[in-house]
Amino acid sequence: MDVLAPLKPAELFSAKGLVVVITGGGSGIGLAIASALYQNDAAKVYILGRRLNVLQDAIHKLGSSPSAPPKSSTSTLHAISCDVTDLSSVQVAVSQIESETGYVDVLINNAGVIGPRSGPEIYKAETIHQLRDAMVTGYDEWTPTLAINTQAVIGVSASFLPLLEAANTRRGYAPGKVTGTGNPRAHDKSKLKDIGADADDDRLAHIITVASVASHMRWVSAGLAYNASKSAALHLGKMMSTFLAEWGVRSNIVCPGPYPSEMTQGKPPTYGTGQIPQGRMGSVNDVAGLFLFLVGKGGAYVNGTTQVTDGGRTGVFPATY
């Protein structure tokens, strides 16, 4: 390692020039991610969601912020109405992005729903019959919860694979499947200069799946379906890092604890040391710092990992992490 090389945070943790797709990008953590990328020189950020008006309002909000960069938000931020549980709807989004950019550097699977709230009823139960009923609270909501939180991770990731590979090709990497001991993917680094990237920038295309601290929790904070669906999303992200390795696509998982969002409306803003040692919900700083690391040049060597951002919550609850 050349320890005398210049180490500049603005270069290591930058979204400069990236094309990023964020599902569920119109609110909560998704919007915070979009803001971090927009403020840090991403070329294009596509936010996908079912409610087009919410996405458009989000773009206006970011573009009119005092923190907005001097460039126009309409040249960087783009809204696409998309149902992540419908492959035909996802393919329409893919086709639009393909026609406009031709590649995607980073796909962020962030869309999610809370599902049936069985947790409070489970812990209030005083008889076995009450517990029985509590466990099946909102039972018919399990299917759509799993469809959005779990199944869509695979459907969306699969749909965007050709554009992720196109991003690798643009960076000089050979396309296709590469196998064999001592046989790395061929990389023509001269292509990096053509796209304005640094000579030491060896980032591969990247899928980031936003699961939840509930993926690890034995405590039912919201509902059984949410914990189960997010645990499955976490494991799918790990599995993708393994079977996509030969195809040159990275996969990492982020597990947030409580953050301000539609899902956590009505929750207290402060927490005791036995709930969240940090004493608060996560902030936009916490989102920005983590995601700029993961998408930046400084995160190029990160693959197949779970990044927990929960203020210490998993340390004080029964958990599997």
How high does pLDDT run on average in the chain?
Answer: 95
Q: What is the pTM of this model?
A: 0.96
pLDDT of 70 > 90? The answer is: no
The per-residue pLDDT for 171 is 98
User: 3-state SS of the chain: helix, strand, coil percent to 5?
Assistant: 45, 15, 40
pLDDT of 73 > 80? The answer is: no
The per-residue pLDDT for 260 is 86
Task: Set out the domains of the chain in order of their start, with CATH numbers.
Answer: 9-316 (3.40.50.720)
Q: Write the pLDDT tens digit of every residue in 266-310.
A: 778 899 999 999 999 999 999 999 999 999 999 999 999 999 999
How far apart CA 262 and CA 79 sit, in angstroms, is: 19
Q: Write the pLDDT tens digit of every residue in 150-203.
A: 999 999 999 999 999 999 999 999 999 999 999 999 999 999 999 999 999 999
**Element holding 252 (H helix, E strand):** strand 249-256
Question: What is the percent of the chain where pLDDT is above 90?
Answer: 90
Q: CB neighbours (10 Å) of residue 320?
A: 9
Per the DSSP assignment, residues forming a β-bridge with 256 are 309
pLDDT of 98 > 90? The answer is: yes
For residue 264, which amino acid is it?
T
The per-residue pLDDT for 227 is 97
How far apart CA 90 and CA 48 sit, in angstroms, is: 9
- Find where tokens 């064999």 sit: 180
> Exposure string (b/e) for 278-306, b if CB count within 10 Å is 16 or more?
beebbebebbbebbbebbbbbbbeebbbb
Q: Write the pLDDT tens digit of every residue in 48-68.
A: 999 999 999 999 999 988 888
The per-residue pLDDT for 269 is 83
pLDDT of 72 > 70? The answer is: no
